Structure 1
Amino acid sequence: MTERAQREGVETWLFTPKSYPSREAYEADILAELRRRNVELVVLAGYMRIITPVLVEPYYGRMINIHPSLLPAFPGIGGIRQALEYGVKITGVTVHFVDGGMDTGPIIAQRAVEVLDGDTEETLAERIHKAERELLPHVVQFIAEGRVELNGRHASIRQ
């Protein structure tokens, strides 16, 4: 991903979690870099770690994640596989605020994806990832435009 970012002129920096004595120390360095660069919104996609209060608290309401299920169903790793195993007919994607729990933050937007007879994890994942690539940029745009409001557990998008 770093090579792709460089080709596109996107500045990157790398932190290696295992080189830190704790998750909190790791996140403190990330937080320092975010503040140094005046980052206003953190967008997580494929970030498979629970985030501690060190990073959640200063960015609460300004950190979002995308998850491959219609939360609160099938949180955590393997949401697509879990949906298939459970036999649901509709699954999808969720963009939510990060609150430090495992995919428990207030939901901003969701998009349904039909589970088709004969779907495999790979075929369903293809449609879910397409929905993710469509939904996430819209939510980021809505946030940038100041249209997303957070009131307790309820997030809404003004028209």
Structure 2
Amino acid sequence: MSTVKAAVFASGTGSNFQAIMDADQLSCEIVLLVCDKPGASVLEKAKRQNVPTFVFDPKLYSSKEAYEQELVQRLRNANVSWIFLAGYMRIAGPTFLRAFEGKIINIHPSLLPAFPGKDAIGQAFKAGAAVTGVTVHYIDEGIDTGPIIAQETVEVLETDTEATLKERIQQVEHELYPRVINQLILSK
């Protein structure tokens, strides 16, 4: 049986990318890291892991469709069949979604549908939520609106600051995401 090939998309520090790479037994091979922020620290993590990267600046393309066409071509060239978004801060467009329908998943630091979009942890903290958490979901054309695959709760403690809450949520993300990835791939 041939190994399932996957790509990770990230825009920032890459803590979830690192958690995926550090997973004891991953049911796929990460063959590409895609990053839309030249200079993002996730690129150094990919280099240390010997994972090839594709870095692009969306502003240098004539349209979203243009850069998504290049993304799709690069993913196909690498024989990628699954895509894991890990702190990738772009909304997927129709060109990308159609090419990998049902094979793009994302991790989000809240219990969706609560607190979608940017700064979910800050949103939950400022709203005084007693419980928040982590959601792994399929991507669709909306912002954090795709079908939910798995969720795990994180209690907001009275002693929490936004920083301590973020740290505890990331601990859950780093355990949940590789586990869900394995379950998805092994079930297909």
- TM-score, shorter chain, exceeding 0.5: yes
Q: TM-score, normalised by structure 2?
A: 0.76
* Structure 1 equivalent of residue 110 of structure 2: 69
For residue 110 of structure 1, report the CA deviation from its aligned partner: 0.5
* Structural mapping, 1:1-159, within 5 Å: 1-146=42-187
Q: Structure 1: which amino acid aligns with 2:163?
A: E
How many correspondences in the alignment? 147
SS class of match (1:34) = helix
Q: Letter of the 1:86 partner, please give it.
A: A
Q: Distance in 1 between matches of 2:90 and 2:52?
A: 22
The residue type paired with residue 78 of structure 2 is R
1:133 counterpart SS class: helix
- 1:70–1:92 Cα contact (<8 Å) kept: yes
RMSD over aligned Cα atoms = 1.0
Matched position secondary structure for 1:145: helix
Deviation per CA, 1:1-31, whole angstroms, max 9, x where unpaired? 2222122121212121111111111111101
Which residue identity lines up with residue 83 of structure 2 in the other structure?
Answer: V
Counterpart code for 1:15:
F
Q: Is the 8 A contact 1:65 1:97 kept in 2?
A: yes
Amino acid corresponding to residue 45 of structure 1 in structure 2: A
Identity of aligned residues (%): 52
Q: Tell me what 1:154 maps to.
A: none
Q: Which has the higher contact order (CA 8 A, sep 6+)?
A: 2
In structure 2, list runs of 5 or more residues that go unmatched: 1-41
Q: Using the alignment, how far apart are the partners of 2:116 and 2:78 within structure 1?
A: 31
Which 5+ residue runs of structure 1 have no aligned equivalent?
A: 148-159
The question of whether the paired residues in 2 share the 8 Å contact of 1:60 and 1:97 is answered with no
Runs (4 or more) in structure 1 with deviation over 3 Å come to: none
